[in-house]
Amino acid sequence: MKVANPLLPQPATIIDIIQETGDVKTFRVVLDDPDAMAAWRHRPGQTAMVSVFGVGEAMFCLASSPTSRDWIEFSIRRAGKVTTAIHQLEPGAKIGVRGPYGNSFPVEAMRGNDLLVIGGGIGLAPLRPLVNFMIAPENRKDYGNIEIIYGARSYGDLCYKEEVFRTWPETPGVTVWTTIDAPEEGWEGHVGFVPAYVAEIKPAPENKFVAICGPPVMIKFTLKELEKLGFKEEQIYTTLEMRMKCGIGKCGRCNIGAKFVCRDGPVFNLAALKELPPEY
């Protein structure tokens, strides 16, 4: 039996590009092989490797919901050689995609419970597929209320504005709070950092999971607020996307102690994270 090479990218085409912020774009991609596209399956929180031919490849979270079967989306911030090359591509450009990799948010364990999503800036990218998976018509009955607390440095740095300001708030059972770090002209919403906003909103911990992703300092101080509110370590999940290279736990680049972020993560609950060496 022929075994597919897990390190071999599949040719893919960029079919659309959405400018999210000044340095973040969402790339909508289809695999060139129709059978491979039809067979593609991923879960909320998983990652995939994107390659720009002749430049290099990098790991990104999958930003589209598993319930969207016609394309795959990656939201990518321009920050280095590969991401700069990706940002220079136009619709119709060819790239490579391999994956999906890693574990996912525990959507089975989350059934019947409420969800609190806390995101900062581009950190909303791995949380977006979780929200869209849960509000998809075929899944909505399986999950409770969804609260989303999302912040960024400025209005211009908020991603997915159509979903954040229209689609999600208009969905029954979904509440969205947004905040920016400092006042700016035209912004009439909340001003302040995410951890302080969490303390102000005071979400209740009963029958609720938390999915959080954003800048490390935001996560650090938000976790303290969640602890004050009574959330337990086992209720809180976050995703790490650091230093991943091969994606299959072979190269050793992303290991933290005995765990490989690409294979054993990238999603960990807080209890599991506290068992890891302080290397992340």
In the chain, beta strands by DSSP E: 10-19, 24-31, 47-52, 56-61, 72-77, 94-101, 114-120, 146-152, 174-180, 190-191, 208-213, 236-239, 255-256, 259-260, 267-269
> Angle of helix 216-229 relative to helix 194-201, nearest 10 degrees?
20
- The stretches of the chain forming alpha helices (DSSP H) are 34-39, 81-87, 128-135, 161-162, 194-201, 216-229, 261-264, 270-274
Nearest to 126 by CA among 33, 218, 43, 217: 43
Q: Find out whether 159 is annotated in a ligand binding site.
A: no
Q: How many residues does the chain have?
A: 280
Its sign, for the CA torsion 168, 169, 170, 172, is positive
What does the angle CA 60 – CA 198 – CA 170 come to, to the nearest 5 degrees?
70
Find out whether 116 and 208 touch, Cβ atoms under 8 Å. Answer: yes
Name the pairing type of β-strands 146-152 and 174-180: parallel
> Tell me, what amino acid is at 207?
N
Chain position carrying tokens 């948010």: 105
Asked if residue 61 belongs to a known ligand binding site, the reply is no
Binding residues: 246, 251, 254, 262
Binding residues for [2Fe-2S] cluster: 246, 251, 254, 262
